[in-house]
Homo-oligomer: A and B are copies of this chain.
Amino acid sequence: MPETVFIKNLKDNVDKEVKIKGWMYNKRGSGKLFFLQLRDGTGIVQAIVSQNDVSSDTFQTADKLTMESSLELIGKVTKHPRHEDVFEIQTKEIKIIQIVNEEYPISKKEHGTSFLLDNRHLWLRSPTQRAIQVIRNTIINGIYEYLNKKGFIKIDSPILTPNACEGTTDLFELKYFEEGSAYLSQSGQLYLEAAIFSVGRCFDFGPVFRAEKSKTRRHLTEFWMMDAEAAFVEHDENLKIQEELIVSIVKKILKENKKELKTLERDIEPLKKIESPFLKKTHAEVVKELREMGSDIQENHDLGGDDETILTKKYDKPIFVEKYPAEVKAFYMKRDPENENLALCADLLAPEGYGEIIGGSEREDDYDKLSKRIKENKLPEGIFDWYLDLRKYGSVPHSGFGIGMERLTAWICGRKHIRETIPFPRTIKRLIP
């Protein structure tokens, strides 16, 4: 019995007889010859079934095969007569695992988004959706690799929390035994700030939640964040770490996911331009530039989604927008020593109209200043006592940032809607499947 081989490993098995286990994706031909497209999760291969080379049982089986039917196929691996790096199977035998009798709901024709999302458990099988998940996986591995190399330790921050990182609006609330309400975390940052005093540098990677009623293509109620935090790292070094991380991820994708980028019809020229140094502009500079481009953005306002779009379409490199007005940013950000009204922060905007993929800042490390800001922001008293303790017992300068996994994946994959980048998207109207 020949060995079972993954389709991605066929190149190492030329002229050998192998077994493929997978699903039928497509079929052409009739009469004396069938061309089956098989997929097994690692790739797609064409298997040629010639009436002259197989038993009549196997030929009839090939005839019967319907889309998404599961099967085992035995045959010899050959090089494609013309295309470099393409392999085929000369079929000897086919064994059906399950024949699909009902018509598979997702055909080649165009379906509406709502239908596809209702059938997300099946839609995931399509080559584009598979490619997005494979690229997402490479991004995750790229983050781990870079952060490990730089001495960051994974610290899994909690989801059930009594407080909110950036205020208490838009939180999912639940009853927590006799302790009153718990809220689902919007960010693990505050917890990572505690952990840097233990391990120096750390990161988390997990789901976060926003009960926002936004329905834009950039919003999900549940999404994945990677937060990183480092002791003794100040604003400029914080940006340098982010820049190196993004450059290393894009290089890894270009190297490891050529096929998936092609499946997605992603133009890779813009990705090839992602090199150090990124652009760096202050919020004030960006406001001026945007107003010249026709935006009505005010000097003391955050950038809107449309502002990010027009700005990032103008340049072919990611842009750090730094030093936002402190009033539009979170209470824990350190102020610019040169201007108390500005936060020592930066958002990283991805090019091609994608906008924010990272938000970060140096953190306020002075007990009195932080305590005053908590009061000014009318945050619940007592609940941040532990967070203030970090400024009491050996406070140090420190900085961090958070990457929105779906926004980063959408940009790298060149997809418009972030709902395609997470396996099972959750929006205000969608909890199933």
The interface stretch among A49-57, A199-207, A305-313, A329-337 is A199-207
Q: Is A232 an interface residue (CB 8 A)?
A: yes
Q: Nearest chain-B residue to A173 (Cβ)?
A: B174
**A269, chain B: closest CB distance, angstroms:** 27
Among B159, B198, B213, B383, contact of A133 (Cβ-Cβ < 8 Å): B198
> Please, which residues of chain B bring their CB within 8 A of the CB of A179?
429-431
**A399, chain B: closest CB distance, angstroms:** 14
Q: Nearest chain-B residue to A383 (Cβ)?
A: B432
Task: Establish whether residues B102 and A232, one from each chain, have CB atoms under 8 Å apart when the complex forms.
Answer: no
Task: Establish whether residues A133 and B151, one from each chain, have CB atoms under 8 Å apart when the complex forms.
Answer: no
Q: Which of A205-231 contact B (CB under 8 A)?
A: 206-207, 209, 211, 213, 221-222, 224, 231
> Please, which residues of chain B bring their CB within 8 A of the CB of A159?
159, 207, 209, 222
Q: In the complex where A124-B195, A172-B174 touch, is A200 in contact with B6 (Cβ < 8 A)? A: yes
**A124, chain B: closest CB distance, angstroms:** 4
Task: Establish whether residues B198 and A21, one from each chain, have CB atoms under 8 Å apart when the complex forms.
Answer: no
> Please, which residues of chain B bring their CB within 8 A of the CB of A69?
394
**A144, chain B: closest CB distance, angstroms:** 6
**A120, chain B: closest CB distance, angstroms:** 8
Q: In the complex where A155-B423, A390-B121 touch, is A395 in contact with B232 (Cβ < 8 A)? A: no
Q: Which of A40, A156, A231, A387 has the most CB of B within 10 A?
A: A156
In the bound assembly, the distance between CA atoms of A383 and B387 in angstroms comes to 42
Q: How many residues of A contact B (CB 8 A)?
A: 96
Among B121, B137, B201, B428, contact of A154 (Cβ-Cβ < 8 Å): B137
In the bound assembly, the distance between CA atoms of A287 and B365 in angstroms comes to 58
Q: Is A176 an interface residue (CB 8 A)?
A: yes
Among B104, B136, B207, B431, contact of A176 (Cβ-Cβ < 8 Å): B431
In the bound assembly, the distance between CA atoms of A100 and B397 in angstroms comes to 15
Task: Establish whether residues B160 and A121, one from each chain, have CB atoms under 8 Å apart when the complex forms.
Answer: no
Task: Establish whether residues A41 and B121, one from each chain, have CB atoms under 8 Å apart when the complex forms.
Answer: no
Q: In the complex where A124-B194, A199-B130 touch, is A431 in contact with B182 (Cβ < 8 A)? A: yes
Q: Which of A251-300 contact B (CB under 8 A)?
A: none
In the bound assembly, the distance between CA atoms of A24 and B396 in angstroms comes to 13
Copy tally for this chain in the complex stands at: 2
Q: In the complex where A121-B389, A197-B125 touch, is A140 in contact with B154 (Cβ < 8 A)? A: yes
> Please, which residues of chain B bring their CB within 8 A of the CB of A24?
394
Q: In the complex where A198-B41, A395-B98 touch, is A423 in contact with B221 (Cβ < 8 A)? A: no
Among B161, B397, B428, B430, contact of A431 (Cβ-Cβ < 8 Å): B161
Q: Nearest chain-B residue to A4 (Cβ)?
A: B232
Task: Establish whether residues A23 and B153, one from each chain, have CB atoms under 8 Å apart when the complex forms.
Answer: no
Q: Which of A148, A154, A196, A224 has the most CB of B within 10 A?
A: A154
**A417, chain B: closest CB distance, angstroms:** 17
> Please, which residues of chain B bring their CB within 8 A of the CB of A23?
197, 394, 396
Instruction: Map CB proximity to B onto A174-197 as digits: 1 under 8 Å, 0 otherwise.
Output: 111111001010000001001111
Q: Is A134 an interface residue (CB 8 A)?
A: yes
In the bound assembly, the distance between CA atoms of A231 and B172 in angstroms comes to 35
Task: Establish whether residues B133 and A153, one from each chain, have CB atoms under 8 Å apart when the complex forms.
Answer: yes
Q: Is A61 an interface residue (CB 8 A)?
A: no
Task: Establish whether residues A148 and B155, one from each chain, have CB atoms under 8 Å apart when the complex forms.
Answer: no
Instruction: Map CB proximity to B onto A385-404 as digits: 1 under 8 Å, 0 otherwise.
Output: 01101101111110000000
Beyond A70-B396, A97-B396: 18 further Cβ-contacts under 8 Å? Answer: A4-B232, A42-B151, A105-B393, A121-B387, A122-B197, A122-B389, A134-B153, A140-B154, A156-B207, A156-B405, A158-B424, A159-B222, A160-B221, A160-B426, A162-B431, A162-B432, A177-B429, A386-B432
Q: List 26 A-B contacts (CB under 8 A).
A: A4-B232, A41-B197, A70-B394, A97-B395, A98-B394, A100-B394, A105-B393, A121-B389, A122-B389, A133-B153, A133-B155, A141-B144, A141-B154, A144-B144, A158-B222, A159-B207, A160-B221, A161-B431, A172-B176, A173-B174, A178-B429, A179-B431, A182-B431, A191-B424, A191-B433, A387-B433
